[in-house]
Amino acid sequence: MDFVYIGVFLCALAFALVTIYIAKVLLRVSGTLKSLGNTLGEVQNKLQYITSEVEETIKETDKTIDDVEQKLKATDGLFDTLENLGGSITNLNQAVHHQTKDISDERTLRKAEPIAHTIQWSEVAFRLLTKWKTNQRKEGKEA
């Protein structure tokens, strides 16, 4: 029976040690939770300040986005005009390309020949006029 008492004593001792260990763990957990509570209280105070600042920032961003959207809508007409201008230039380019494709180099030279003759004769006439005026001046000075 002595062994039974010794066994019960050892069980009671083990239970006491486990209880002490659990009590220490619970005390540490309690201290950690208290520290966590203080930290969360500080965080909550700072978040209240930050939240109001973020709300103001969001309002200002919303105003800026609306302003940018209005300005972009104002430029829609410009881009439509540029698109129309580009289409017109493309059409003109195609028309010129089509017209120039029909005209051969030989035909072009034949059409330009009268213009070249006109330029040559006008140059001859200009030189004759210049010489005549020069002679008139010389005759006027000699007389």
- What pLDDT tens digit does each residue of the chain (143 aa) get? 788 889 999 999 999 999 999 999 999 999 999 999 999 989 988 888 888 889 999 999 999 999 999 988 888 888 888 888 888 888 888 888 777 766 666 677 777 788 888 888 999 999 898 888 888 877 777 66
pTM here is: 0.39
Cα dihedral 17→22→27→32 (10° resolution): 140
